[in-house]
Amino acid sequence: MAGQLAALCGQILVVGLAGTELSASERQALESGARGGVVFFRRNVPQGPEGARAVAALARQVRDAAPADAPPLVAIDQEGGRVVRIGPPALALPPMRRIGDLGDVDFAARLAEAQARELAALGITMSFAPVADIHTRAENPIIGDRAFSDTPEGVAAFAGAWARGLLRGGVLSCLKHFPGHGDTTVDSHLALPRVERSREDLERIEIAPFRALARDPAVASMMTAHVVYPALDPGPATLSRAVCTDLIRGALGFEGVLFSDDLEMKAIQLPVGEAAVLAVAAGCDALLICSREDLADEAHGALVREAEASAAFRARCEEARERVLRMRRRVPPKPVDASSLDGVFDASRSITQELASRLDTGRPS
């Protein structure tokens, strides 16, 4: 039973890696099922022209370490603008606001598809994008030009196009940060923000893009915000059943995977193990722990202990694992041979030129 629970709870965890190759302990955790996937950061991408090849090699190591019947998630934040992990020769995108300002959702979908084809060739299966937050507060330190628009309608249109483009290119999408991070004045990496809107205003503004896209088959997943919305719950959304189950599953009808944002962030003012149990109980299906292997181990141990003690929690973990596995099996990692990568990046040249021309003229079409 202990081994089964360890694998059950491990499949919920998506973790950061220390370097550009798997360590022995990272490999063992994937082999045993104690990790369900990984997320790449700049520390995993060597600088220079060989960086992309190194990413593909690392993705291949991750794929080969995981059980054959449980392909791992290989995720990355490659939005564009200031949130980019892989540099040249990968497609360079401006902040999403500049793409939204062009006013052409079909072009946005083509950009996302081109980017996804590159990511898929590197063995990446999910981009933690698009941002579905709305830029409603100029002093927001974390969203700003990462948002497509300052209106719910604009965000919904472009976020939906981005998700569809990613899927056409072979990569899963993740709408973030539910139920909306655009009106905060605090970076949740550093402290716990609050959004003091009424329930009516939250429904009309923050939640509207997520509601519009909740049933879109191109939207594989959503990610929670480590933000307090007093009109919804007195605690952070990531740890709130009112948000993660009643609202997202009940009111919005979302059936995809719900990710927590990184549980190491300062906004989660609890030990990681405790936060992991609360997030899963609230309704999160996959937990991000992005930096420290010891904290991933702590979360894993806490989940296993709670699953041993509570049949209800064990059932919640089983539900989460099945939802996550179903998604991962849709898009298993398929890194191409290094000799083929140049051709993949060359194929993006025409849309790169078109993007440069459009940004230069500011024209929508």
Could you give the residue numbers annotated as active site?
189, 261
Torsion angle in degrees (nearest 10) through CA of 233, 234, 237, 243:
-10
| Contact in structure between 229 and 183 (CB atoms under 8 Å) | no
What is the C-alpha to C-alpha distance for residues 336 and 310, in angstroms, rounded to an integer?
43
End-to-end Cα separation, the chain, in angstroms: 59
Alpha carbons 17 and 38: distance in angstroms, whole number: 7
* Beta-strand runs (E) in the chain: 13-16, 37-40, 73-76, 126-127, 174-178, 221-224, 257-259, 287-289
The answer to whether 79 and 93 have CB atoms below 8 angstroms apart is yes
Closest CA relative to residue 219, chosen from 72, 334, 112? 112
d(CA 122, CA 91): 13
- CA-CA distances (angstroms) from residue 265 to 191, 262, 286? 8, 6, 16
